[in-house]
Amino acid sequence: MQKIVIFAAATLAIMGCTTKPKYSNPSITDPVQSARQFTIDDGACTLAASGVRVPSVPAVSGGNYSGTITSNSGATYNYTAQSGSSFASGFAAGTNVGLAANARREKNKIYRGCMASKGWFE
């Protein structure tokens, strides 16, 4: 379980380290005006892309079961077991990493599309 959490955190950290590509707008020739307009359009497109939410799957814990087992020789053994909690939490963690990566791709598509609609190209 701890390995999955570390893997998920490392994956999200790497995804967050990407830098925005350099954009240019061929219709704006003045560098000062270009920088000013880029700041305005970048903010608007970042806001538009921030509407994408990251869905998540909650970890489901299994139940605790206990009982007594009697062997053929008559010896008795008490046991306590958890059903599926490690599988369910591992499955949820893996699914959440995939959902976060997909949401990041969707945000990038919305941002790039918004910037292109305003005349900015990579």
Average pLDDT along the chain, 122 residues, taken 10 residues at a time: 57 54 90 94 93 71 64 68 63 78 89 95 90
Instruction: Give, in order, the Cα–Cα distances in Å from 70 to each of 64, 76, 80.
Output: 20, 4, 15
Backbone region of residue 54 per phi and psi (left: phi > 0; alpha: psi in -120 to 50; beta: other values): beta
E strand spans, the chain: 64-70, 76-82
C-alpha triplet 103, 104, 109: angle, nearest 5°: 95
How far does CA 84 lie from the centroid of its chain?
24
| DSSP at 53 | -
**Which pLDDT does position 85 carry in this prediction?**
60
- The gap from C-alpha 77 to its chain's centroid, in whole angstroms, comes to 44
pLDDT for 12 equals 53
pTM for this structure?
0.58
Q: How far apart are CA 85 and CA 76, in angstroms?
A: 26
Instruction: State residue 33's pLDDT score.
Output: 95
> What is the reported pLDDT for 62?
59
